[in-house]
Amino acid sequence: MRKPTHLLAFGFGSGLLPKAPGTYGTLVGVPLYLLMQPLPLLSYILLVALGFVAGLWLCQRAAEDLGVHDHSGIVWDEMVGYLAAMAFAPPGWIWIVIGFLLFRLFDIFKPWPIRWIDRRVKGGLGIMLDDLAAGIYSAGAISLLNLTGWI
């Protein structure tokens, strides 16, 4: 954690927690979302894109330093994936919780093509892309729930 790249890649230390580091990394995304939520949609999406691009390098660097492709403690990808999930979410704590749960479900169960990406795409791109895909799936599910009025 002495390296700034590790501090960020490990979600400010949340990825070092012994059980479910991805869940804790996603939790770090919640206050980031609350800070970004008031932004105009284009600014929000640009920040998420910037986080994704930064994650390509951060996650690649941390993985190389550790000698492990996708170390479970690297959670920058979960943070960015959650932010992607929340891009079109309506305001309110219920949507923050729904977005969190949906993102974790898609990230854990990895429906196609998330599982394919996770297994075949390597390096920083592979680490980031499967979580971005889980975030996109979650954003779609949130939008459907909102549009149909189920929530």
Asked if residue 35 is part of any domain, the answer here is yes
Asked if residue 60 is part of any domain, the answer here is yes
Q: Look up the domain containing 53 and give its range.
A: 4-14+23-146
Q: How many other C-beta atoms can be found within 10 angstroms of the C-beta atom of residue 98?
A: 21
Asked if residue 91 is part of any domain, the answer here is yes
Asked if residue 108 is part of any domain, the answer here is yes
C-beta separation of 75 from 14 below 8 A: yes
Residues 6+ apart with CB under 8 A from 123: 60, 63, 69
Digits of tens for pLDDT over the chain (151 positions)? 678 999 999 999 999 998 999 999 999 999 999 999 999 999 999 999 999 999 999 999 999 998 888 888 999 999 999 999 999 999 999 999 999 999 999 999 999 999 999 999 999 999 999 999 999 999 999 999 999 987 7
* Overall number of domains in the chain: 1
Asked if residue 83 is part of any domain, the answer here is yes
Asked if residue 151 is part of any domain, the answer here is no
